Structure 1
Amino acid sequence: MPEEKSLSTFEKYLAVWVAACMAAGLILSQTLPGISQALNSWQIRGISVPIGICLFLMMYPALLNLQLDELKKLMRNPKPIFLTVISNWIVAPIVTVILARIFLVGYDQLIVSLILLGASPCTAMVLVWGNLADGNQEQNVINTTLNTLTIMILYAPMVSLLTGIQNIPIDRGILALSVIVFIGTPMLVGYLSKKYIISTRGETWFSETYRPAVGKISIAALLT
């Protein structure tokens, strides 16, 4: 029988740790408001530097899993690809608009937050859930790579379309810049650093030493 896959104790209670960190953040913002004000003031062209740093540390380890060479296998099994594209860029946006119109009428900031989330396909967690389900990891890698690349192309136009439907103005320049900074930069750095490390230290060291180490940084950034 194949070995049963399971989460570690920390991963099993990740939702608890996230909730605890959120509660700690709310308490700090109320008791020490100067901290949140100082963090919010650290911006470059409307983009929060602290959030950018944390998102980079979250995304970089995940994007080390990208295998662009796998995209040439897209049409070997097209059904999962079509389902991925349709669910990410048709079903999810429609559901987002429906939820916004039912529950969030009059709350523009919450609507924008929902749209930003609903228009963003899942990336790294596809690999986690696929592994736990003992799924086809080769297909998962292809889907994850496709998701990341389509975000670069379709995310900003989709968010602009959905906010336009809700008659909510947004700064499209900052939106496009955010995609480049938060997705494009860690993707490029991840791709280049992966190639360099494998060429200098070998794939075994990369897979067994480097990637697990930076993965722990990703969890810390998530909780921050």
Structure 2
Amino acid sequence: MKQKTAPISTFQKYLSLWVLLCMAVGILVGKFLPAAPEFLGKMEIARISIPIAVLIWVMIYPMMLKVDFQSVKQVGKNPKGLFVTWIVNWLVKPFTMYGIAYLFLFVVFKAFITPELATEYLAGAVLLGAAPCTAMVFVWSTLTKGNPAYTVVQVATNDIIILIAFVPIVKFLLGVSNVSVPYSTLFLSVFLFVVIPLAGGIFTRLGVVKSRGKEYFESTFVHKFDGITTVGLLLTLVLIFASQTEVILSNPLHILLIAVPLIIQTFFIFFLAFGVCKAIRLPFDIAAPAGMIGASNFFELAVAVAVALFGTTSPAALATTVGVLTEVPVMLTLVKIANRSERKFHE
């Protein structure tokens, strides 16, 4: 039985507005109730925020419920989408991020940013560029009706490459010989943001299908979680911006300047990956997530590493936080662009 599609609610229709409101609420909480983010900030393991991890589970779990592992077995029959993801994410994205960020920070905005600050902002941008999306891509995939099984494999293989390639790429691009990236953060991020929600989704699916049948699961049970992903996203934004309020408010102009190259990079990488997928005639439900993985960033990891290397209030940490600030509205825009192109995708 074909799954019924939940109608778009007024809440989802104006999601971009809700995102901006939640960012504002987060900053207000950080400004007037600083004890709240300070308390939550102490709840971490290997610099990974446990409250954020829980909220990411809330976002990802409904997506994982839709993963039918009978479908995962079919991914190998159409590996071209994986090749596009790997090539764009690791042979293109880190280097275009470096080039675009360097151009704007050291040349275009030279009159507004000192070389010392530009160097640290560039470091933050490189950390974002070397960490393609792992967790949030499940949200974007859901919003573009991406193939759940294929998205899981794209993300899983991406996680393996992160463990191997992240440190060498960052060292090469920044020319830093003694970058000490916390591997515990890398491994724990993958475990928390992918393994746990995936296991939860698998066991839930197996249990419900066994007790109530596949038809009930696909037509009724899975739709009980419609909207939960969006709520998790909005609460995550409130928490992140509450914890970074002081840094954001003390650098308003620089936030705008940092945002420009990050936004340009995001659009460029999306259209590159999405365009290649279209050119090689991959189906839309594979092409859309492939574009989203490259365009968005594993900002949880980038922020954690920036804090570990340069400090919480450092310019590098600010640059990764701006990545969070720009990513959600920009990615929602790309979701709309992708969805509008679906009908004409192969014309």
**TM-score scaled by structure 2?**
0.54
Kept in 2, the 8 Å contact 1:46–1:174? The answer is: yes
Counterpart of 1:48 in structure 2 is 49
Which of the numbers 192, 203, 222 marks the counterpart of 2:203?
192
Kept in 2, the 8 Å contact 1:123–1:144? The answer is: yes
Counterpart of 2:165 in structure 1 is 158
Kept in 1, the 8 Å contact 2:19–2:234? The answer is: yes
SS in 1 for 2:67: coil
Cα deviation, 1:156-177, whole Å, max 9, x if unaligned, reads 3333233323234321122111
CA–CA distance in 2 between the matches of 1:16 and 1:92?
Answer: 29
Kept in 1, the 8 Å contact 2:56–2:232? The answer is: yes
CA–CA distance in 2 between the matches of 1:46 and 1:27?
Answer: 24
Amino acid at match of 1:67: D
Which of the numbers 194, 211, 220 marks the counterpart of 1:209?
220
Counterpart of 1:145 in structure 2 is 152
Kept in 2, the 8 Å contact 1:60–1:189? The answer is: yes
Counterpart of 2:233 in structure 1 is 222
CA–CA distance in 2 between the matches of 1:42 and 1:116?
Answer: 26
Point out 4+ residue stretches in structure 1 off by more than 4 angstroms: none
Alignment partner of 1:13 is 2:14: yes
Kept in 2, the 8 Å contact 1:115–1:159? The answer is: no
CA–CA distance in 1 between the matches of 2:191 and 2:77?
Answer: 30
CA–CA distance in 2 between the matches of 1:148 and 1:164?
Answer: 23
Counterpart of 1:126 in structure 2 is 141
Counterpart of 2:31 in structure 1 is 30
Measured at CA, do residues 27 and 42 of structure 1 come closer, stay the same or move farther in structure 2, by a change above 3 Å?
same
CA–CA distance in 2 between the matches of 1:221 and 1:116?
Answer: 25
Amino acid at match of 1:205: Y
Measured at CA, do residues 98 and 211 of structure 1 come closer, stay the same or move farther in structure 2, by a change above 3 Å?
farther
Alignment partner of 1:39 is 2:40: yes
Offset at residue 26 of structure 1 (A): 0.3
Offset at residue 142 of structure 1 (A): 4.5
Structure 2: gaps spanning 5 or more residues? 1-5, 106-117, 236-347
Matches within 5 A, 1:81-96: 81-96=82-97
CA–CA distance in 2 between the matches of 1:117 and 1:20?
Answer: 27
Measured at CA, do residues 79 and 117 of structure 1 come closer, stay the same or move farther in structure 2, by a change above 3 Å?
closer
The alignment yields a C-alpha RMSD, in angstroms, of: 2.8
CA–CA distance in 1 between the matches of 2:196 and 2:59?
Answer: 12
Kept in 1, the 8 Å contact 2:93–2:129? The answer is: no
CA–CA distance in 2 between the matches of 1:196 and 1:159?
Answer: 37
Measured at CA, do residues 73 and 203 of structure 1 come closer, stay the same or move farther in structure 2, by a change above 3 Å?
same
Amino acid at match of 1:123: F
CA–CA distance in 2 between the matches of 1:77 and 1:175?
Answer: 29
Counterpart of 1:134 in structure 2 is none
Offset at residue 42 of structure 1 (A): 1.4
Cα deviation, 1:178-197, whole Å, max 9, x if unaligned, reads 11111111111111221111
Offset at residue 211 of structure 1 (A): 1.9
Measured at CA, do residues 57 and 109 of structure 1 come closer, stay the same or move farther in structure 2, by a change above 3 Å?
farther
Offset at residue 112 of structure 1 (A): 6.1
Please identify, of 117-126 and 152-161, the stretch whose mean Cα deviation from structure 2 is larger.
Answer: 117-126
Structure 1: gaps spanning 5 or more residues? 132-136
Kept in 2, the 8 Å contact 1:62–1:124? The answer is: yes
Measured at CA, do residues 46 and 161 of structure 1 come closer, stay the same or move farther in structure 2, by a change above 3 Å?
same
CA–CA distance in 2 between the matches of 1:99 and 1:93?
Answer: 10
SS in 2 for 1:118: coil
